[in-house]
DNA sequence: ACATTAAGTGATT
DNA sequence: AATCACTTAATGT
């Protein structure tokens, strides 16, 4: 209950809060744990209470592509449609940090849409956010060059982890932005030379420009 | 000290 | 910009 209020201040109706408390179940994930695999059926919609969840997609050749992060107070837009239509998951989610979430059985997700204004808004907003981000991502892939994608990735990661020091290997970055490790290394070197970041092993520190 | 893993480099396509 | 082949550097055992 207190978990709810902390992460989801917009879910206002008292009775809705009570229903969430009643039907939802709290799940704990340790860093690195896979929350949802490709192809699995989803029976709960996750409300992220704390931590950070990485959402990935897999292409035909089995290559993984990083899509976006889910933070506290968010939920997975894909899970709504997925479970309502009883489709298999086309995404995979991993706990990037230790994560706590409340799982809501789908039937309530549906029911509450008509009964609770704030729930409906929440669901709509989730879609809206995702759609906007998707459009931005398309823009990025279409128009942005690798170097700005890289910087964008780092800034996003820094923001989402709340630290200017990002702990990743060049290989991980490369996987996430779909580039080769060497390319990432070279671009990072450039950024370091231009004074925008400082590099270390498993470490990229973003400097104020 | 040695093995392993991450990072850097040059050449090739 | 990807891939390869290789070197160098950092880190764990």
The pLDDT value given to residue A155? 94
- Report whether pLDDT(A156) > 70: yes
Contacts of A202 (CB under 8 A, 6+ apart): A167, A168, A169
The pLDDT value given to residue A29? 95
A179: CB within 7 A of chain C nucleic strand? yes
In CATH, the architecture of A144-206 is Orthogonal Bundle (1.10)
Angle between helices A117-143 and A106-115 (to 10 degrees): 110
The pLDDT value given to residue A66? 87
Task: Find, among A184, A157, A156, A158, the residue nearest to A170 by Cα.
Answer: A184
CATH T-level assignment (fold) for domain A2-142: Jelly Rolls (2.60.120)
Q: Where in chain A are all domains bearing CATH 1.10.10.10?
A: 144-206
In this predicted model, what pLDDT tens digit does every residue of A6-54 receive, in sequence order? Answer: 788 888 788 999 999 999 999 999 999 999 998 888 889 999 999 999 9
Q: Where in chain A are all domains bearing CATH 2.60.120.10?
A: 2-142
In this predicted model, what pLDDT tens digit does every residue of A98-124 receive, in sequence order? Answer: 999 999 998 898 899 999 999 999 999
- Report whether pLDDT(A89) > 70: yes
In chain A, % of residues over pLDDT 70: 96
Rounded distance in angstroms from the CA atom of residue A170 to the C1' atom of nucleotide B2: 25
The pLDDT value given to residue A79? 87
The pLDDT value given to residue A7? 80
pTM, to two decimals: 0.77
Kindly state the average pLDDT of the residues A2-9: 77
C strand bases under 7 Å from protein CB: 1-5, 10-11
**How far apart, in whole angstroms, are the C-alpha atoms of residue A198 and residue A38?**
36
How many CB atoms sit inside 10 A of residue A41's CB? 11
**How far apart, in whole angstroms, are the C-alpha atoms of residue A55 and residue A62?**
15
A121: CB within 7 A of chain C nucleic strand? no
Rounded distance in angstroms from the CA atom of residue A207 to the C1' atom of nucleotide C9: 24
| Contact call for residues A16 and A119 (beta carbons, < 8 A) | yes
């Amino acid at each position: 209950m207190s978990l709810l209020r902390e992460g989801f201040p917009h879910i206002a109706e008292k009775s809705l809060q009570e229903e969430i408390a009643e039907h939802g179940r709290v799940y704990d994930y340790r860093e690195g744990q896979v929350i949802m695999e490709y192809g699995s059926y989803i029976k709960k919609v996750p409300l992220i209470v704390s931590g950070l969840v990485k959402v990935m997609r897999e292409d035909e050749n089995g290559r993984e592509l990083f899509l976006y992060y889910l933070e506290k107070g968010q939920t997975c837009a894909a899970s709504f449609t997925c479970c309502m239509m009883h489709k298999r998951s086309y995404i995979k989610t991993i706990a990037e940090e230790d994560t706590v979430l409340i799982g809501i059985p789908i039937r309530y997700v549906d029911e509450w849409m008509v009964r609770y204004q704030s729930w409906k808004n929440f669901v709509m907003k989730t879609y809206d956010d995702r759609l906007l981000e998707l459009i931005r991502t398309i823009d990025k892939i279409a128009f942005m060059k690798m170097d700005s994608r890289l910087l964008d990735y780092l800034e996003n990661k820094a923001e989402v982890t709340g630290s200017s020091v990002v702990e990743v290997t060049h290989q991980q970055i490369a996987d996430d932005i779909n580039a080769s490790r060497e390319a990432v290394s070279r671009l990072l070197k450039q950024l370091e030379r231009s004074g925008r970041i400082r590099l270390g092993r498993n470490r990229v520190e973003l400097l104020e420009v």
